[in-house]
Structure 1
Amino acid sequence: MADRLYQGIADQITALIDQGVFPPGTRLPGERELAERFGVSRVTIREAEIALQAKGLLAIKTGSGVYVTDGMVAPTDAPPQVSAFELTEARSLFESEAAALAATTITPETLDRLDELLEIMGRDDSDDAASTAADEEFHLLIASASGNQAVIHVIKQLWRMRTEMPEVRSTYASVCQHDGRTRQREHAAIVDALRIGDSGAARVAMRQHFNRLLEAMLDATEEREITELRRKAAESRERFLMTARLR
């Protein structure tokens, strides 16, 4: 499938590393050069590099480039490979409890910042990157307001997986692209509960947000599968008609 194209490119880059074309310590060619070499987009190259960084084969250094590591030991903080559904279930568990804890300790200053982020998420002219950044800051602020360092650490790691794993990022993008107003309302309900210090309501509001997100993911997955079945059916029909014409 097209959304897994980066995996094939990652395999090809790995093969070149194994063959010594890109030995440990060397800097990979730039995204544009690699895109031309493999006949894919720069986005696909970037996703392949992120995947290889997660495996410990590459090190991406902002402003410097992408370097081949020795590949002997994967980084101890490399996140596990999970689906968007698994990640969202985990986020629901931890972030719902973080919201419940934050309700009793959150400061007026943090609430004011959450209101600002709500406005950004609800803007019609807000691009996907700005909306996603506002969404991330929103959730991490609530995690920080919980005051529980273990919970804060876990939620930060979950967000790292949310942003670094290409397939997870792609799934979130497919369901969040047109839900700006809905997402804003759900987040506003969370803020309302936090503002009145209601731990139970904050927990429920956060959980409802993630339940809706999980349902949207299921719908998106079902739609992709139906589209794929239709494509295959159309190809089969075309082959049948072509064979019939040749008889």
Structure 2
Amino acid sequence: MPFQKVQSEKLSTSVVRQIELLILRGILRPGERLPSERELSERLGVSRPSLRDAISELQDQGLLTTRAGSGIFVAEVLGSAFSPALIRLFGTHDEAVFDYLSFRRDMEGLAAERAARLGSDSDLKVVQAIFDKMVAAHGRRNAQEEARLDAEFHTAIIEASHNVVMLHMMRSMFELLREGVFYNRQIMFRQRTTRDALLDQHRAINDALQSRNPKAAKAAVEAHLSFVESSLNDLRTAERHESIARQRLEHEVGKS
């Protein structure tokens, strides 16, 4: 008969599985500090030796890391998706920027569609809360704050789609954007007309999600990222034109 004796699971193994799932589901994020050993053992209801065994196993897996004098942190695993050589290529060729935006348009359109259909009420409340912060930040005209909230808004939609592979893949892509590999996100929030348009586009995305309209959510995300692509293309063109104009000016001044 295909039966085997049921064996009780070690407490440390249960802790490992719980922390693994929290990292897999994106609840514990790269770089996030875990509570102290005393607090964590109390929250989990296990002894400190069992907790230490679990932490040690997770460190061996490369999911947790220790920082001397600071504690235990979720490992910075996102950057491993791309090699340094490939990141350098991305950062030095405009082609990669527009391919990146095309990729985001496809993936985030799908994520928004899934979020409208599968996201929980709590997921959508998170999206709404971030959008409310975006509206408040818009009035303060702080490009850095608006760019940060923009990233949080898009990440919240990915999280609400409840696809863990997409979540970690897109977080890795957003990390490269945060580091300025593809373009400086803050540039998009420096011009009044562009800032107003971006807020309206995020409002359309949020409205579609809150009304649980998958088709409209997908279309709103695609329209938003098409606008970003067009704006960046216009910016690159303006920069080239300005460079040529400066050469003409220097030449003209040099003749006098």
- AA aligned opposite 2:108: E
Find the aligned partners of 1:200 and 1:163 in 2 and give their Cα distance: 29
Q: CA deviation at 1:90?
A: 1.4
- For residues 174-206 of structure 1, the C-alpha deviation after alignment (integer angstroms, 9 at most, x for no partner) is 233223322121111112211222211111110
The one of 128, 131, 136 aligned to 1:115: 128
* Residues 121 and 180 in structure 1, CA contact (< 8 A), matched pair in contact too: no
Change (3 A) 1:216 1:76: closer
Q: Which consecutive residues of structure 2, in runs of 5 or more, have no partner in the other structure?
A: 1-66, 71-78, 91-95
Q: CA deviation at 1:148?
A: 1.1
Aligned counterparts of 1:234 and 1:130: Cα–Cα separation in 2: 37
State the partner residue of 2:189.
176
Q: Distance in 2 between matches of 1:225 and 1:148?
A: 40
Is 2:245 the partner of 1:217? no
In the superposition, relative to structure 1, how do residues 156 and 76 fare at CA in structure 2: closer, same or farther (>3 Å)? closer
Q: Deviations over 1:58-77 (max 9, x none)?
A: xxx9xx9xxxxxxxxx9664
What's the offset of the Cα at 1:129?
A: 2.3
Q: Which amino acid aligns with 1:96?
A: G
Counterpart of 1:92?
105
What are the ranges of 5 or more consecutive residues in structure 1 without an aligned counterpart? 1-60, 65-73, 242-247
Deviation sequence 1:125-152 (CA, Å, 0-9, x none): 1522221221111111110111111211
Select between 204-213 and 120-129 the one with higher mean Cα deviation: 120-129
8 A Cα contact 1:121 1:135, kept in partner: yes
1:129 corresponds to 2:144:
yes
Per the TM alignment, residue 221 of structure 1 is displaced from its structure 2 partner at its CA by 1.1
Q: Describe the SS at the equivalent of 2:110.
A: helix
Aligned counterpart for 2:200 among listed residues 163, 169, 185 = 185
2:79 equivalent to 1:103:
no
Superposed, 1:4-43 pairs within 5 Å as none
SS in 1 for 2:118: coil
Distance in 2 separating the partners of 1:125 and 1:202: 27
Deviation string for 1:208-237 (max 9, x for gaps)? 000111111111111111111110001111
Amino acid at match of 1:121: M
> SS at 1:147's partner residue?
coil
Q: Which position in structure 1 is the counterpart of 2:57? A: none
Q: Distance in 1 between matches of 2:113 and 2:249?
A: 51
Q: 1:189 to 1:226 in 2, by over 3 A?
A: same
Alignment of 1:50-89 (within 5 A): 77-78=82-83, 80=87, 81-82=89-90, 83-89=96-102
Is 1:203 aligned with 2:203? no
Letter in 2 for 1:205: A
Contact 2:127/2:153 (<8 A) preserved: yes
CA 1:126–1:105 in structure 2 vs 1: closer, same or farther (change >3 Å)?
farther
After alignment, is 146-155 or 226-235 more displaced? 146-155
* Alignment TM-score, normalising by the size of structure 1: 0.61
User: How many Å apart are 1:98 and its aligned residue?
Assistant: 0.6
Q: Which amino acid aligns with 1:103?
A: A
Partner secondary structure for residue 124 of structure 1: helix
Q: Which moved more, 1:75-84 or 1:210-219?
A: 75-84
